[in-house]
Amino acid sequence: MFTKILIANRGEIACRVMKTAKRMGILTVAVYSEADRDARHAELADEAVFIGPAPSRESYLQADKIIAACLATGAQAVHPGYGFLSENADFARRVEEAGIVFIGPKHASIAAMGDKIASKKLAQAASVNTIPGWNEAIESPERAREIARDIGYPVMIKASAGGGGKGLRVAFNDLEAFDGFSSCRSEAKASFGDDRIFIEKFVESPRHIEIQVLADAHGHTVYLHERECSIQRRHQKVIEEAPSPFISEETRRAMGEQAVALAKAVNYQSAGTVEFVVGKDQSFYFLEMNTRLQVEHPVTECITGIDLVEMMIRVAAGEALPFTQAQIPRRGWAIECRINAEDPFRGFLPSTGRLVRYLPPPTTMEAAGPAPEGGGVRVDTGVYEGGEIPMFYDSMIAKLIVHGSDRADAIRQMREALNGFVIRGVSSNIPFQAALLAHPRFVAGDFNTGFIAEHYPQGFRAEDVPHDDPDFLVALAAAVHRSYRERAAGISGQLPGHGVQIGEDAVVVVRGEAGAHRHVPVHIESRGAMLVMVGERSYSLSREGTLTAIRASGLCNGKPFTAQVERHGLWLRVEHNGLRIEAMVLSPRAAELLRLMPFKAPADMSRFLLSPMPGLLVDIAVQPGQQVQAGERLAVIEAMKMENILTAARAGTVSELLAKKGESLAVDQPILSFE
């Protein structure tokens, strides 16, 4: 067994690998860029090596620097995590040639599966179901259109070296096939340096289901059941679960056996994932093989009790798998939510900056540790309170994983855990996750990869958040306000006859757009528990929890709850099950006077182009005095590996440039003005 390994990655996956290594008694070496000098993964490791500037192409993608760090520290093996160099066959080969063990498959296996055209031919040879399509590189958009007609619309146009949603288009007609081919080719050339494109049949109402495989160097290959990854936004997974609520035992076995056959065909040795697209009739077709650890590996660990990172390390050290296919259990149900630094109410634009508050829910499970009998909550993260979410890397803050006795129990636990996940300083997608988990079709397991596009065609809005009892948030605001007032009334030294008075009748003013606030009369009684009447409904809130903490918890009508409550001046921000309100609790007279207050409209910013997110201004495409038309490109902002092109909303003349190329922008910072 190794005594020291280097993790060629950052963030949560680097921290995750370190947990297993530490449990196994293996020393760890971290690598870090300029942006990650104070990162959690660099702190957790036994040693840390600086490898260059913030952009990943100058640091985490520099194979020479990583190999040099291994040699300098005496690391005998390197774990690549996921992303960066994890599926780079040339890097794996160079690591092996330097006398270092690559904790992953052999470079030949990575190369065979990394080329989508070659991997599909290998799958066909191994008798794995493949989607009808054209598996040779297509030379022109005209030829792409002809092939698409022969296969039959709809078709999927894909870059051979594509991944992460890049180099992928779905075409339903000749025009979309022609344009999609051109877009895919240019995108693939820019992102991967490989512009080869192929076309295959698009499976309608598809589900994305993947099989986890493990193989050693002694001829043993097994599958660890499946993961359901169909809840996706723009080809990026949002929620993953294991097992799938859709497939039958027969389909599960057939998919697992085909995944094993494919792994054996390429002499696979390590953890890997074979992805399938599954039709509504449970027909399934090979999509691709990921020759690395997956982001969503924790859900498989929960239901099997097998530490996948440990297995990768042991296989790389030459050990045989310690179990057979028949010995792999499947216990309970696990769900993972990716908690990302993005604003769901602003088109999911990246949100970078400092984590002013970071308080994950209480955990009962740990990576690299056994799952408790009754299930529980696990958080895999690479951040900490006060740390930065840099603009140079992906937007993941943490992975929230729950394990329940069945799917309904897992959903319940996840909703409660999301309620208790406190993130301030950057926006997060927690409200969106909460809405998805409450959607009736998700709860019923009736969804496919088009679920989010179908149900949120205009993007995600505040009114899209379902809540079975919105008045609970009003009652909680009233109870919290009453707690503050009682504390104020108990302060000694108050002037006799002028102390804080507490009335039982109040009005909860819920903030609305343009000053159109909603006034909700409430009656509050405080006798042991806090009794709040909202209309005809009563809410008995116990004082046993922590009502006035940012993570408020307790009992409401005898049932436990977790919510978030925060003061902003006179306003309280209350969040529960994804719904957020801002409320002010006033006496009836004060609420009456508030109605008479004039509304002050915000300044008109329509003549400015504002940055919709924090990021780097990589290009300004116009000059002062230039006339632009609606839809014309104005500027490009880059953040978290995404380029966002800003266009003119209407025709006009550019007056002044207010930001410079290369400048770091804040949200709503003016970039230019119009006359």
DSSP 462: G
Cα 367 from Cα 24, distance rounded (Å): 13
Q: 111 is written with which tokens?
A: 């190369």
3-class DSSP state of 342: strand
Please choose, from the candidates 164, 288, 186, the residue with its C-alpha nearest in 3D space to the C-alpha of residue 642: 164
Alpha-helical segments (H) within 509-603: 588-594
**Within 13 Å and on the Cβ side, how many CA atoms surround 157?**
36
* Neighbouring-strand partners of residue 645: 636
Strands 388-389 and 353-354: antiparallel
Backbone angles phi and psi of 200, in degrees to 5: -145, 165
Please choose, from the candidates 416, 462, 584, 602, the residue with its C-alpha nearest in 3D space to the C-alpha of residue 511: 584
Give a three-class secondary structure readout of 96-112: HHCCCEECCCCHHHHHH
- The helix (H) or strand (E) run that includes residue 174 is helix 174-192
Are 334 and 298 in contact by the 8 Å Cβ rule? The answer is: yes
448: left (phi over 0), alpha (psi -120 to 50) or beta: beta
Neighbours of 494 (CB within 10 A): 12
Residues, the chain, total? 675
The alpha-carbon radius of gyration of the chain (Å, integer) is 27
Alpha-helical segments (H) within 554-648: 588-594
| Residue at 131: amino acid letter | I
Angle, alpha carbons 553-558-561 (nearest 5°): 25
Set 288, 336, 342, 575: catalytic member? 288
- The helix (H) or strand (E) run that includes residue 560 is strand 559-568
Q: 675 is written with which tokens?
A: 């006359």
Cα 96 from Cα 79, distance rounded (Å): 12
Q: 249 is written with which tokens?
A: 């035992």
Handedness of CA 262, 263, 266, 272 (dihedral sign): positive
| Residue at 415: amino acid letter | R
Block residue for tokens 């003005």: 673
Please choose, from the candidates 391, 406, 319, 313, the residue with its C-alpha nearest in 3D space to the C-alpha of residue 350: 391
**Exposure letters 272-305 (e unless 16+ CB within 10 A, then b):** bbbbbbbeeebebbbbbbbbbbbbbbbbbbbbbe
3-class DSSP state of 515: helix
Please choose, from the candidates 638, 180, 564, the residue with its C-alpha nearest in 3D space to the C-alpha of residue 361: 564
- Quick check: is 288 catalytic? yes
Cα 511 from Cα 105, distance rounded (Å): 56
Block residue for tokens 């329940």: 404
Cα 571 from Cα 14, distance rounded (Å): 40
Neighbours of 122 (CB within 10 A): 19
Catalytic amino acids? 288
